[in-house]
A and B are shown apart, each in its own frame.
Chain A
Amino acid sequence: MEALFKAHWEPAHRAAFLIVHDAAAAEDIAQEAFLAAIRALDRFDRRRPFGPWLHRIVVNRAIDWSRARALRREVGEAIGDQPAPPDQPAGWSDETIDALACLDPDQRAAVVLRHLLEYTPGEIARLLDVPRGTVNSRLRRALDRLARELEA
């Protein structure tokens, strides 16, 4: 387990953070993903790689959290609360994080899976259980939006 943790924690944690943009939530999500993996370890087919299995849990939970926060933010703004500014990672440009924040959670997840964790669109489709065309569409829209924000 220690070897698995050391090999997979950092990418999982980073992926969660890039989707949710909240350090505490990212830590909780990544940690919870490992705990879920431990609970399901006996059912896991060890001929399959561990990474995609873990990443599926991380990304889905991160998307769920982001959607829930968006909902809370709408309610909060309605009653005057201001959302907390996103945590700033080390070695990151402000423009890129602002641009990522403009994407919806599904698009952020697609970008992170494609360009951080380096899955192919077909693999992403299997991970997220959506059609491949949906993945391609999300990636295209996400990158178009990012390009507009960053290259403007």
Chain B
Amino acid sequence: MSTRFERRLRRELHAARPPRAADAERRAWHVVRAAHAARAPARSQRRGRQLLVAIATAVVLAALALSPAGAKVGDWIGDVVDPAPEATRGSLAALPAAGRLLVVADGGAWIVRDGGRRQLGSFTDATWSPGGLHVAGARGRDLVAVDPEGVEHWTLVAGGPVSVPRWSPDGFRVAYRSGSELWVTTGDNKDRWRLARHSAPTPPAWKPLAAPASQVLAFAVGGRVRIVDVDTGRVLGQTPPGPVARDLWWGKGGRLVTATARSVRIHGPHGHLLRTISLRSTASVMAPGGKRLALISRRGRSSSLVVLDLDGSTRSLLSTRGELEGLTWSIDGTVIVTGLPAADQWLFVRVRGGIEGVRHIRRVFRGGHEPLRGGFPRPAGWCWAEPDNRTAGGGPPCSPGSAP
């Protein structure tokens, strides 16, 4: 038998791909993930007990880390933040809730987890993949996929500066802006296509998965938000005209929530307006579960962290004389982290009460003595500590961060 023939055969076998392979993979993953989640309760209980021990240990360590200097800063924070933080500590040795925090700071992205942090690369914006296995980062005209160790898996070279990358809930698509155009690439960077020529700089929002799986994306074009099936290009709906949305979120029940500087609007699944809530804000982020929206509300030189229940009520969790920047929910929806640049602190705010501050945030993410060139380090998303937790817990995969 000719070995040349075998080599040719091997090449052809390796080159062949089944028709519509990407769609088949996506459908299969939905089924496999659901099946795996259905069998995982015993493992999640074990992990739950381990997590409780880890959190208890972290609380003890945080208490021991308080120093006289820390107490002074704590007093100052108590003057400007109401209610005052119960404790402030000088390190991010442990997060107050489970998981890993994605941070964008000074042109770089980091992952923070209990016990340490790791720089992923020089990115101006970043987003978790739904399982937390990867991060998509914007770097000049590049969209880059890296793993949590910072190893680059693929790089897409776009036609213009890349911004606001957002990974789809099933991990098979990444939406991003290239200049003012909105594009979508497959999760493995094997294909890409343009969705819109002139999109607003608002981060697009993927609709949480519904069966049968389809890839639905909401994005702002001028004063409207368009809702599109990205694979077919079919426009499924759009909102009435209005101010350009700063933030877009999908809430429970398929509701589309848009936030502008002066109001929060709640729309139906196809964009028809249901309610308008007058609420000035500078940032917002949807809680896991899609029922509550955290917002930074600014009045003069004061800021408040507010939680808006989509069904009605509004509650202020804290107010401060400084400006708050950046928001992310913990993946269990119990903690919100926000930055207070004037104090060089992050505030971890428990929704049920209690605030913990972490000092020297600039130093933590700069690592040197030079002042930061960019903005204050911004939490850009909170994900599970281990990807399997996503399916075992049955909850949303990762919690996003507020818009840059």
Question: Does B associate with A?
Answer: yes
* Residues of chain A whose beta carbon lies under 8 Å from any beta carbon of chain B: 1-3, 5-6, 9-10, 13-14, 17-18, 23, 26-27, 30-31, 34-35, 38-39, 41, 87-93, 96, 111-112, 115-116, 140, 143-144, 146-147, 150-151
Let me know if A26 and B18 touch, CB within 8 A. Answer: yes
Let me know if A90 and B29 touch, CB within 8 A. Answer: no
Let me know if B35 and A38 touch, CB within 8 A. Answer: yes
Distance in angstroms between the alpha carbons of A1 and B132 in the assembled complex: 13
The closest CB in chain A to the CB of B7 belongs to: A115
Q: A88-B19, A89-B19, A146-B9 are in contact. Are A23 and B24 (CB under 8 A)?
A: yes
* Residues of chain B whose beta carbon lies under 8 Å from any beta carbon of chain A: 1-2, 5-6, 9-10, 12-21, 24-25, 27-29, 31-33, 35-36, 39, 131, 133, 171, 387-388, 390-391
The 7 closest A-B pairs by CB, nearest first: A17-B18, A27-B24, A116-B13, A89-B16, A31-B28, A92-B16, A2-B131
Q: A2-B387, A38-B36, A93-B12 are in contact. Are A14 and B28 (CB under 8 A)?
A: no
Let me know if B18 and A87 touch, CB within 8 A. Answer: yes
Distance in angstroms between the alpha carbons of A115 and B390 in the assembled complex: 36
Q: A91-B17, A151-B5 are in contact. Are A1 and B33 (CB under 8 A)?
A: yes
Kindly list chain A residues whose C-beta atoms are within 8 Å of the C-beta of B25: 9-10, 13
Distance in angstroms between the alpha carbons of A26 and B21 in the assembled complex: 10
Distance in angstroms between the alpha carbons of A9 and B23 in the assembled complex: 12
Q: Can you name 29 A-B residue pairings with CB atoms under 8 Å? A: A1-B391, A2-B29, A2-B131, A2-B391, A9-B25, A9-B29, A17-B16, A23-B20, A23-B24, A26-B18, A26-B24, A27-B18, A27-B24, A30-B24, A31-B27, A34-B31, A34-B35, A35-B35, A41-B39, A88-B19, A89-B16, A90-B19, A91-B15, A115-B10, A115-B13, A116-B10, A143-B9, A147-B2, A147-B5
Distance in Å: Cβ of B40 to nearest Cβ of chain A: 9
Distance in angstroms between the alpha carbons of A150 and B33 in the assembled complex: 41
Let me know if B28 and A143 touch, CB within 8 A. Answer: no
The closest CB in chain B to the CB of A144 belongs to: B1
Interface of chain A: mostly helix, strand, loop or mixed = helix
Let me know if A143 and B1 touch, CB within 8 A. Answer: yes
Distance in angstroms between the alpha carbons of A34 and B10 in the assembled complex: 25
Distance in Å: Cβ of B309 to nearest Cβ of chain A: 32
Distance in angstroms between the alpha carbons of A26 and B25 in the assembled complex: 11
Kindly list chain A residues whose C-beta atoms are within 8 Å of the C-beta of B36: 1, 38
Let me know if B12 and A23 touch, CB within 8 A. Answer: no
Kindly list chain A residues whose C-beta atoms are within 8 Å of the C-beta of B171: 2
Kindly list chain B residues whose C-beta atoms are within 8 Å of the C-beta of A31: 27-28, 31-32
Q: A91-B16, A112-B13, A146-B9 are in contact. Are A10 and B387 (CB under 8 A)?
A: no
Kindly list chain B residues whose C-beta atoms are within 8 Å of the C-beta of A18: 13, 16
The closest CB in chain A to the CB of B392 belongs to: A1
Let me know if B17 and A89 touch, CB within 8 A. Answer: yes
Let me know if A23 and B19 touch, CB within 8 A. Answer: yes
Distance in angstroms between the alpha carbons of A144 and B5 in the assembled complex: 10
Distance in Å: Cβ of A51 to nearest Cβ of chain B: 16
**Given pairs A35-B32, A115-B6, 18 additional interface contacts (CB within 8 A):** A2-B29, A2-B171, A5-B32, A10-B25, A14-B16, A14-B17, A17-B18, A23-B20, A30-B24, A30-B28, A38-B36, A89-B18, A90-B17, A115-B10, A146-B5, A147-B2, A147-B5, A151-B5
